Amino acid sequence: MSEGNPRILIVDDREENRYVLGRVLRQAGYHCSEIASGIDALNAAQTLPDLMILDVRLPDMSGYEVCQQIKRDERTAQISILQISASFVSSEDRARALEAGADGYLTHPIDRKVLVATVRALLRLRAAESVARKSAEQWQATFDALSEGLALVDVEGRLVRWNGAFAEICGPDFAGAPGKDAGTMLDQVLGSSEALRHRGPERYQAEYSIEQRTVQLSASQVDPENADAGKVLVLSDITDRKLAEYALRTAEKIAATGKLAHAIAHEINNPLEALTNLLYLAESSKSLEMIHDLLSHASSEVDRIARITKQTLSFQRDTQHPLALDVGELVAEVVAVYQKSATARRVRVVCHRRPTTVIRGFPGQLSQVFSNLVRNAAEAAPNGSEVVVRVRSVCRHGREGTRVTIHDRGKGIPLEVRKKLFDPFFTTKELKGSGLGLWVSKNLIMKHDGTIRFRTATTMGASGTTFEVFLPVDGVASRGLNEDD
Ligand code: ADP
Ligand code: MG
């Protein structure tokens, strides 16, 4: 639609008619040009006026034909056409004009008010059409410009439309045609049409491979309330993201290994230096008592090195396949072993277990976790007190699993210590601790897709700490764990 005043072409071979129509319309504020023949009308149509008032009887060709040609040409089809004829035309003539594509029809004598009102109505209609067309064009352009593939599937499971990205991501196997069965198409391209069989308001999402690439397909209902209103398929190529994630994971693993190796070397170096000094002193010492003292010191340094290597070695070693295991039984064994050890005499560890569902996991790693936690609790517990271990099945955030809590009535964990608790080599036990227990435990629990957390209170008389481990039934499977993880 032209800017400012709408432009109207008046096509009539009789000058007096053109004059009357032009005068009325100019007075109504329109910009009018006058033309006397069909051929000139067709030429002038190329300048895209907003409306053409077209007499049915022209000297060189009929008004119907002019109308038909204008409407047939895509470029000029949007021009509104108001056909005008003499008073005594039949209703067939009228019908013919409208079938030729005219938007309105008036007969002489024309009332000026009716003329202006009709012109206004036609221009309004044209403006509305142009807005609708523009937004449809914008929508189509947006649809095509998306880098994600989109396809619309109707109630019967037939393809309605799709954008360029959809066809591109599908690759050479995509042979889409409107009305084609979308299930067959998905089977050909992805090897599965599961997405279309999925029922329910929540979105279906899955990853597939097309040749060397990984794609993600999601399917949602067009109308979330109504399962029978067709589906929208969204297809994205996530190969780059997958590669980046893999690279990041590998880089993280390498960085973590490097950091651990560095930290271990550093931690072992301290007692080694102490050992060297102590042995040197022992060698050059004359007093047997002194030598005895130095050697017992040396022995505790060796113990510390042993503790560090034991924790890290078992952490690295346990990489056999996960097994089906009863966590309650495993915890009971850990407690029994701990009870037998000489260090355990001052504290009693009791285990309350309910029957639990079997989970999949690495028994060696989980034993290490629970013995770390039991030992920490026993070390924190006051003489003669009890450490209480509880095992039961729970469902957390919709996931079945086993919960183990280890409770002691020690002094609790001071605020400034809490943040560093899971850091490697963080210990408050000086030479007696490795500071690796919780760090290793956390890593192992994460491998099982579980969680580890604690509650602690430092209030005198009501102090204590509870560590809680949650292990989902199929955690190792959901982490996609394999031997080299
Ligand atoms: P380590 O036991 O060798 O010191 P851990 O990683 O097992 O190393 O524990 C780190 C620190 O966390 C301990 O030194 C201790 O300060 C604190 N801690 C762990 N468990 C408890 C507990 N049950 N009560 C109080 N403090 C604890
Ligand atoms: Mg410990």
Ligand 1 pocket test target in 438, 455, 469 with most atoms within 8 Å of CB: 438
Ligand 2 centroid to Cα of residue 375, in Å, is: 6
Domains of the chain as residue ranges with CATH: 7-142 (3.40.50.2300), 146-237 (3.30.450.20), 244-479 (3.30.565.10)
Say if residue 147's pLDDT is above 60: yes
Average the pLDDT over 297-312 and give the result.
Answer: 80
| 155 closest CA partner among 206, 75, 227 | 227
Ligand 1 centroid to Cα of residue 260, in Å, is: 19
Calpha distance 22→44 (Å, rounded): 16
Q: Which two tokens stand for residue 179?
A: 């009305």
Pocket of ligand 1 (CB under 6 A): 372, 376-377, 380, 408, 410, 413, 417, 421, 426-429, 433-439, 465
Pairing state of beta strands 104-107 and 51-55?
unpaired
Ligand 1 centroid to Cα of residue 424, in Å, is: 11
DSSP 51-94: EEEEESB-SSSBHHHHHHHHHHSTTTTTSEEEEEE-TT--HHHH
Calpha distance 102→80 (Å, rounded): 7
Nearest C-alpha to atom 19 of ligand 1 is from which residue? 376
- 410 CA closest ligand 1 atom index: 24
Calpha distance 216→418 (Å, rounded): 41
The answer to pTM > 0.85 is no
Ligand 1 centroid to Cα of residue 106, in Å, is: 96
Nearest C-alpha to atom 7 of ligand 1 is from which residue? 437
pLDDT digits (tens, 9 = 90+) for 405-461: 999 999 999 999 999 999 887 889 876 777 888 988 998 899 899 999 999 999 999
Tell me what pLDDT residue 254 has: 67
pLDDT digits (tens, 9 = 90+) for 19-38: 999 999 999 999 999 999 99
pLDDT digits (tens, 9 = 90+) for 229-267: 789 999 999 988 888 877 776 676 666 666 667 767 777
Q: Is the dihedral of CA 383, 384, 385, 388 positive or negative?
A: positive
- 436 CA closest ligand 1 atom index: 6
Ligand 1 centroid to Cα of residue 372, in Å, is: 9
Calpha distance 130→125 (Å, rounded): 9
Pairing state of beta strands 386-396 and 348-353?
parallel
Nearest C-alpha to atom 26 of ligand 1 is from which residue? 413
pLDDT digits (tens, 9 = 90+) for 314-359: 555 555 678 899 999 999 988 887 877 645 578 999 999 999 999 9
